[in-house]
A and B are shown apart, each in its own frame.
Chain A
Amino acid sequence: MTLIEVAVPASEARRARVEDAVIAQVATLRAADRADAAVIEPRSHMRLVLGLALAGAAAAAAIVVFVATRGEHEPGVVAQSSPSLVVTPVGGSSRFTVGDAVVDAGPDTSVEVRTDPGGAVTLALARGSVDCDVAPRGDRPPFRVIAGDVTVEVVGTRFTVARTPAVRVDVARGKVKVIGPTGTAFVAAGESWPVAVAEVPAPPPAPPSHPVPVAAPVHPAPSPQATFDEAQRLRATDPAKAERLYRALAADRGVWAALALYDLADMQAAARPDDALREVGDLMRRFPDAANIEDAAWLRIDILRKAGRRDQARRAAADYLRRFPSGTYIDQAARVAEP
């Protein structure tokens, strides 16, 4: 006997939508399982291809080692997905584009790229890591990364998925939805999944096995991206150094300065809200068209809210809702904006 009556709204369209999503996800997970097996088995063959590639490009630091298209096109049959396999060597990396996404495959990575006829992109990560720079989806086809039994769906916009073999997701910008065996979570800019994952220490540099060469090696200045990555890595262990690196980037112009200002503010938000608000203000003033401007606007609201400045937070939230009526954080902003 039901003691408290709650009518459950029925919607055929909703059921159909969920049904399609379930069937597609189950199929994709099965494909990922098969990819796992397919990638691991022919490894010796890939090594051979790797060796040839290295011989031809000894000076290259980043090499696409192996890209194989396995699409099957039969006459009279609509082309299904055309999976491609991207494998990088230990110490190498590869950048490729899929639709509107730019994907950086890290060292020792194996990832299968599938695009279905509707344009939906799925990366099945067998090992290693992928860093994805993806436009907010909105009306665009879905973009997801599957690593074992974890699925990462993009809301927008830049994130990293690593499988080593534990799966870890780091979001640099925007927001992603992570569907794992223990539940669904939204991971926003500056956050990681799983939350309590232990930092994996960087491997110590290998000792030189040969005498130092006569000519002193030339060390080019690190790229802004390398500096940014280093700063992100140091946030947990050496925040002062991370802050210095972020500031160096922020003094420059362009995308890395905007990202650095965001991270800087995010770092300072809890303990130094005034400093954090200054960095966010700097970001919004100097880079009004930056890709992370919406994230910055939400971060500002969040800092004000957590600092107990309710009126300011409410005004900032109202401003956010005006500027980004279809934004990623509209639900949270609407709650803050409520009188």
Chain B
Amino acid sequence: MALTIVDRPEPRSEQELVAACIAGDAAAQRALFRREYDRVHATVYRLLGSNRDCDDLVQETFVAAFRGLARFRGDAKLSTWIDRIAVRVVFAYIRARRGAPISLDVVGEVEAGGGPAEDRAQAREGLRRLYAALAELPAEARVAFALYAIDGRTVPEVAALIGTTVVTAKLRIWRARRRLHARVAHDPILGELVREVKS
């Protein structure tokens, strides 16, 4: 007789998934984690530009999300609600590390491309300088700019994630951009990266 192993069926709707997670169903928690992980990890990584501590912060985000899931009322999409937690976690991390030197060895990779090795090296150096410049900005401006210019969020999305009005979000992005452009005047490599950023 053939033995068939079937996976336990996952909850069908988001509401069912949330309810199962709140009830402590580890399978549902894993399903939710896998559904949301890539986006959360990417956002945290792009905000920091580094893998250092990235896993810890993603872990912290999901633990906070699972612990607070009972308070999720469905006013926003679940993904937005989790992203807000991730942004709060990153905010706290940046504030706690204010003044700490940026790690020079683990700055993010540029988008894969087929260009010559020296172009890739220059782009990587540009990113290193970008994140070093971002590290000097106030946390609010840094996070708003990174969400907008690196993570690809719209200004209203940025406003929703950092909990401000659209006008305030726009202002923070603008301030960050202005500070970066001041550096670009003396740094052509950084200039290659941020020249196109407008808000």
Q: Assess whether B151 is in contact with A23, with CB atoms less than 8 Å apart.
A: no
Check if A339 is an interface residue, CB within 8 A of chain B: no
Check if A40 is an interface residue, CB within 8 A of chain B: no
Within A167-189, the residues touching B (CB, 8 Å) are 177, 179, 181-185
In the assembled complex, the Cα of A183 lies from the Cα of B59 at a distance in Å of 11
Partner of B66, one of A1, A22, A185: A22
Flag the segment in B7-15, B45-53, B160-168 that touches A: B45-53
In the assembled complex, the Cα of A29 lies from the Cα of B93 at a distance in Å of 22
Q: Assess whether A18 is in contact with B55, with CB atoms less than 8 Å apart.
A: yes
In the assembled complex, the Cα of A15 lies from the Cα of B38 at a distance in Å of 9
Q: Assess whether B58 is in contact with A183, with CB atoms less than 8 Å apart.
A: no
In the assembled complex, the Cα of A280 lies from the Cα of B97 at a distance in Å of 27
* Contact (A23, B30) CB under 8 Å given A6-B109, A6-B110, A8-B41: yes
* Contact (A183, B96) CB under 8 Å given A5-B111, A30-B24, A335-B101: yes
Residue of A nearest to B197 (CB): A3
Q: What per-residue 1/0 map shows which CB atoms of B23-59 lie under 8 Å from chain A?
A: 0101001100110011001100110010101011111
- Sample of 28 A–B contacts (CB below 8 Å): A2-B150, A3-B150, A4-B194, A4-B197, A5-B111, A6-B49, A6-B127, A7-B112, A8-B42, A8-B45, A8-B108, A9-B45, A9-B109, A15-B41, A18-B37, A18-B55, A18-B62, A19-B33, A19-B37, A22-B33, A22-B62, A22-B66, A25-B59, A25-B63, A149-B67, A182-B92, A184-B57, A184-B93
Q: Assess whether B93 is in contact with A179, with CB atoms less than 8 Å apart.
A: no
Check if B135 is an interface residue, CB within 8 A of chain A: no
Q: Assess whether B109 is in contact with A23, with CB atoms less than 8 Å apart.
A: no
The 6 closest A-B CB pairs, nearest first, are: A183-B92, A5-B111, A2-B152, A8-B42, A22-B62, A3-B149
* Contact (A181, B110) CB under 8 Å given A8-B41, A19-B30, A23-B30: no
Residues of A within 8 A of B29 (CB): 22-23, 26
Check if A21 is an interface residue, CB within 8 A of chain B: yes
Q: DSSP majority for the A interface?
A: mixed
Check if A17 is an interface residue, CB within 8 A of chain B: yes
Check if B193 is an interface residue, CB within 8 A of chain A: yes
Q: Assess whether B51 is in contact with A6, with CB atoms less than 8 Å apart.
A: no
In the assembled complex, the Cα of A27 lies from the Cα of B33 at a distance in Å of 14
Check if A253 is an interface residue, CB within 8 A of chain B: no
Partner of B46, one of A8, A17, A25, A29: A8
Kindly count the residue-residue contacts between A and B in the assembled complex, taking CB atoms under 8 Å apart. 98
Chain A interface residue count, Cβ-Cβ cutoff 8 angstroms: 32
In the assembled complex, the Cα of A185 lies from the Cα of B111 at a distance in Å of 31
User: Using a CB–CB distance below 8 Å, which chain B residues touch chain A?
Assistant: 24, 26, 29-30, 33-34, 37-38, 41-42, 45-46, 49, 51, 53, 55-60, 62-64, 66-67, 89, 92-93, 96, 101, 108-112, 127, 130, 148-152, 193-194, 196-197
Q: Assess whether A26 is in contact with B150, with CB atoms less than 8 Å apart.
A: no
In the assembled complex, the Cα of A179 lies from the Cα of B64 at a distance in Å of 10
Residues of B within 8 A of A219 (CB): none
In the assembled complex, the Cα of A335 lies from the Cα of B30 at a distance in Å of 37
Residues of B within 8 A of A149 (CB): 67
Residues of A within 8 A of B109 (CB): 6-7, 9
Q: Assess whether A19 is in contact with B63, with CB atoms less than 8 Å apart.
A: no
Residue of A nearest to B52 (CB): A331
* Contact (A183, B89) CB under 8 Å given A9-B51, A22-B62: yes
Q: Assess whether B59 is in contact with A18, with CB atoms less than 8 Å apart.
A: yes
Partner of B59, one of A3, A9, A21, A29: A21
What's the least CB distance linking A337 to chain B, in Å?
13
Residues of A within 8 A of B62 (CB): 18, 22
Residues of B within 8 A of A210 (CB): none
In the assembled complex, the Cα of A149 lies from the Cα of B101 at a distance in Å of 30
Residues of B within 8 A of A3 (CB): 148-150, 152, 196-197
Partner of B26, one of A2, A14, A27: A27
Residue of B nearest to A30 (CB): B24
Residues of A within 8 A of B93 (CB): 183-184
